[in-house]
Copies of this chain bind each other. A is one copy, B any other.
């Protein structure tokens, strides 16, 4: 896909007769070849969701022209839609505190080309991760939190995010609660990894909560950030068995491996335009 042009069309609209026909007819008419397509009609919300990957043919107009032409179909079906260039790498800014496992995992995937993104900046309220981040040639922004003026730090974080022209912000075990304002500003483009199998064990020290409840399976959850702490739409979850011999520290260690994989999947799916919002839930075209 790296060499050939490929576009991704994502659509959300009220469900009705003829959507697929209209969209696929449009693509066929403009000489586009569909390589992947997925759709879902939610019987509860009566919303329709679609993701189509296609390549332009000899007769296909340029992207801007295709977008212009598609508008009449989009309007007819009241679509929320976007045409993405599949070869353009998403710009991902990562926020981290002292636990570096998710950051390290994302950097390794980035470094080896497994995660085809740009990482224009890593932001942290600690200095711990500077060295490994700079080894990867990525600017490291140390923005300490002043307990008496959290807003000031947040403003500087947002400034870095904006200047980096970020498509996505990843909270890779960033141990600060974002303000409602910031959550709203990042809505739909910030992913957090919570170290529990939500909705169990919201809030602080979930592995310790899990240990004291005596659960036999622990998990991690990647979700979009919303003003409601740990209540955002879930993108992906993972689990692992544990037993009575595991201490809270053991759960923390086992959990790290789950967090890495779950967060990496969520980031990849988001940047591949596989995740569409359906109210407080997600549609994930894996």
Contacts and interface: CB of A to CB of B under 8 A. Distances in A.
Interface in A224-246: 233-239, 241, 243-245
Query: Quick one: copies of this chain in the complex?
Result: 4
Interface string A52-85: 0000010000000000000000000000000000
Given A20-B37, A24-B25, A261-B257, A216 B200 contact: no
A163 interface: no
Interface of A: 17-18, 20-22, 24-25, 27-29, 31-44, 57, 100-101, 104-105, 108, 112, 114, 131-132, 135, 197-201, 212-217, 219, 233-239, 241, 243-245, 247, 253, 256-257, 260-261, 264, 278, 280-284, 286
A199 B217 contact: no
Contacts of A20: 20, 24, 28, 34, 37
A20 B20 CA distance: 8
16 contacts: A17-B28, A17-B33, A17-B34, A20-B20, A20-B28, A21-B21, A35-B43, A44-B247, A100-B108, A101-B108, A104-B104, A132-B135, A198-B215, A199-B200, A199-B201, A243-B284
Contacts of A112: 100-101
A257 B236 CA distance: 16
A69 to B, nearest CB: 15
Contact of A234 (B104, B105, B215): B215
A281 B244 contact: yes
Nearest to A103: B108
Contact of A35 (B41, B114, B253): B41
A132 B136 CA distance: 10
Nearest to A265: B257
Contacts of A217: 197, 219, 237-239
B213 A114 contact: no
A104 B29 CA distance: 48
B244 A283 contact: yes
A43 B247 contact: yes
A21 B27 contact: yes
A101 B38 CA distance: 31
Given A43-B247, A244-B281, A17 B31 contact: yes
